[in-house]
Chains A and B, each alone.
Chain A
Amino acid sequence: MLRALMVVVAASRRYLKLDLRYRFELTVNALLLIVNIVSFGLMGHFVMATNPELVSYPYHLFLLTGIFYWTVVSNGFTSSIFTLREEMERGTIGFLLSNGVSPAVITLSRMITTTVVALGLSTAIAIPALLISSGGSCPAPPASAGWALKLATSLMLPWLFMLAVAISFTALQLVFKRTGGLAGAVHGVLGIASGLNFPPQAIPLLGEALSKLPTAVGLRAFRELMVFGESPSLQPTLSRILTPLTAEWSLVFVTAAFLAASFILLAKVEEVTRRWGTIEQY
């Protein structure tokens, strides 16, 4: 376990070093974030003009907090899909396997690195954008250590949920090698279902169920904390965590269940592809 952790740390540092060597890509990602912020901000104003009852606070803040959140929580997912493919093409998978390192380590390491970079970029760009566009009221000043803890929880547990999705895709890639636009589609659908563009409760039939997704729960709590300084929708007490189908229960148990299931799936797929003789082919 300790060695696995050391490998994750070493791999994350390696990916960070590599990312910092591709400055054009870093610049493009920062510019894309700015473009996202501006376009979502503009979209927010236009949508508010025609749908003033959508949320109880300025819609552009709804969108901008969503961008920050989704950039931090989900960028690692898309980068990990490409990274596994790169390692397969480079012929590293066989080496890693023969040294007891699972492809899950590549996924996790890549996600950690991308999230750290995304957090840095988002904090540097999105927070000032929020401050400016809200006239200084957003993000709401932290009221307590509890605020910071809730904010961290609203980001970390959904991140682990996205890790579970990424691990599942790792398993898919070991079998099918290329997954085409599926990862992008899943990423997009999850974003919409989590409430990136509008509250998920607005979706007919599935709205209530989708609002229980860990990413949806986390995003709602994150928005409330950033705009109002408190999160009525997330009260992580033991009784609420243990009560099925509450937001807190979903955030903890659905995430844990997905994570466990994804690792079990990956272990099974590794075993099968080792037997097929295709595990390190690309």
Chain B
Amino acid sequence: MIEGACAEEEAVKVVGLVKEVRGKRGERLRVLDNVNLKAPAGARVAVIGPSGCGKTVLFKVLSTIYAPDRGEVKVLGLDVVKQAGKVRRLVSFVSPSLGFHKKMSLDETLKFLSKVQGSNPEVAYRFLDFIKMDGLRERMIEGFSAGQLAAVRLAVGLMKQPKLLLLDEPTANLDVARKELVVEYLSRNVGDATMMIVDHDPKVVNRLCNQAVLMQAGGRVVKTCDYQSLLKSFPFKYRFNLKVYSGPRLSKDAISKLGYPFQVMGNVVRFLLSSKEELKGLVEKLIDKKGLLSFEVSSISMEDIYYWMSQQVNEAAPSVAEPLVGKAAATACNSKDAKSPPA
């Protein structure tokens, strides 16, 4: 037990965090603007936001790589500035920018990094064995693919057995099968550690997280909440996926005239509906339309909420999905929740 570490509710407490970075010619660029968030111990927190909104910088402040300019940042009750040394022993930051020397083998690399961390490399090997990357101990790092390197980075982060695990796009570059194994491992083996994760795959976030922090461009936190209350307060209950023929068989105007909020993703149109009556109404409207291949109805999942939230904060960044349109979109954008500090 590290002296001063708080063995109770809050793993992360951020109040009024402002972080500016120095740009060219000394000008200052604000990347985190009055960020407030709390993560209880043992939470699994998804940090969601468009590229460039400050998610990685937030992780770097929590892992003491950057010092905050203003505000209070505490990890497990320890101040990241005044007690940085203690914080570093408890936090592990898995960054996609971590590189390895190509002329060293995996075993040599993990042994060296374990000495740096003061950890046991066998923990990393257990993880690598689980995700079917055993038998690579003596292979040189230069022979590893991008996906394998991503797995090694994650192994290095897990090797430390931290109290706070910060994962920055841990499943990027992983193939589908390995991604599934990684998610399974993380969901089962992180123990009581707190995990904060940035990942652009909503399925990963859906499986691993029970809390969400929503950030927007400019480094502001828009909303923090747990998934249960998010599901309850989400204005939609059903997802209606409509597969259409490619080509101009069903125009956006025609879809829009149906009167329900929708997103177009390739040749799939996703409607979000708030009741069974709306569901019936939509089916009746579609029944005579041409250009339809199939449709599928299911309950709302975190994946839908993830897309929805991403669309809400993605003010400037381009998206694969078209913006949500329709009358319910206006009521669903609950501006009262925006920028309020968490309870």
| Segment 254-282 of A: residues with Cβ below 8 Å from B | 271, 274-280
Residue with the highest number of chain B CB atoms closer than 10 Å, among A21, A98, A276, A280: A98
Residues of chain A contacted by B91 (CB below 8 angstroms):
98
Q: Is the CB of A94 within 8 A of B60?
A: yes
Q: Is the CB of B116 within 8 A of A7?
A: yes
Q: Is the CB of A90 within 8 A of B99?
A: yes
Q: Is the CB of B67 within 8 A of A274?
A: yes
Q: Is the CB of A94 within 8 A of B98?
A: yes
Count of chain B residues with Cβ under 8 Å from any Cβ of A? Answer: 37
Bound form: Cα–Cα A274–B112 in Å: 25
B108 at the interface (CB under 8 A from A): yes
Q: Is the CB of A92 within 8 A of B99?
A: yes
| Segment 73-108 of A: residues with Cβ below 8 Å from B | 89-92, 94-101
Given contacts A277-B31, A280-B65, contact A100 B88 (CB under 8 A): yes
Chain A nearest CB from B142 CB (Å) reads: 11
Contact pattern, B 1-44, Cβ under 8 Å of A = 1, otherwise 0:
00000000000000000011110000000010000000000000
A138 at the interface (CB under 8 A from B): no
Chain A nearest CB from B292 CB (Å) reads: 49
Q: Is the CB of B97 within 8 A of A91?
A: yes
Q: Which of B64, B98, B103, B117 contacts A21 (CB 8 A)?
A: B103
Q: Is the CB of B67 within 8 A of A275?
A: yes
A17 at the interface (CB under 8 A from B): yes
* Closest A residue by C-beta to B115: A10
Query: How many A-B residue contacts, CB cutoff 8 Å?
Result: 84
Residues of chain B contacted by A92 (CB below 8 angstroms):
98-99
A210 at the interface (CB under 8 A from B): no
Chain B interface secondary structure, helix, strand, loop or mixed? Answer: mixed
Given contacts A94-B65, A100-B85, A100-B89, contact A18 B101 (CB under 8 A): yes
B118 at the interface (CB under 8 A from A): yes
Given contacts A7-B116, A14-B108, A277-B57, contact A90 B93 (CB under 8 A): no
Bound form: Cα–Cα A229–B63 in Å: 55
* Closest A residue by C-beta to B92: A98
| Segment 19-65 of A: residues with Cβ below 8 Å from B | 21-22
Q: Which of A7, A95, A274 contacts B66 (CB 8 A)?
A: A274
* Closest B residue by C-beta to A22: B103
Chain B nearest CB from A210 CB (Å) reads: 37
Q: Is the CB of B21 within 8 A of A97?
A: no
Residues of chain B contacted by A6 (CB below 8 angstroms):
115
Chain B nearest CB from A20 CB (Å) reads: 10
Residue with the highest number of chain A CB atoms closer than 10 Å, among B57, B60, B89: B60
A167 at the interface (CB under 8 A from B): no
Residues of chain A contacted by B31 (CB below 8 angstroms):
277
Given contacts A14-B112, A90-B99, contact A98 B93 (CB under 8 A): yes
Chain B nearest CB from A90 CB (Å) reads: 4
Interface set of B (CB-CB < 8 Å, partner A): 19-22, 31, 57, 60, 63-67, 69, 85, 88-89, 91-93, 95, 97-101, 103-104, 108, 111-113, 115-118, 156, 160
Interface set of A (CB-CB < 8 Å, partner B): 3, 6-7, 10-11, 14, 17-18, 21-22, 89-92, 94-101, 271, 274-280
**17 contacts across the A-B interface (CB closer than 8 A):** A11-B112, A14-B112, A17-B108, A18-B101, A18-B104, A91-B98, A94-B60, A95-B113, A95-B116, A95-B156, A99-B117, A100-B85, A100-B89, A271-B67, A277-B19, A277-B57, A280-B65
Which 4 residue pairs spanning A and B have beta carbons closest together? A277-B21, A10-B115, A90-B99, A91-B97
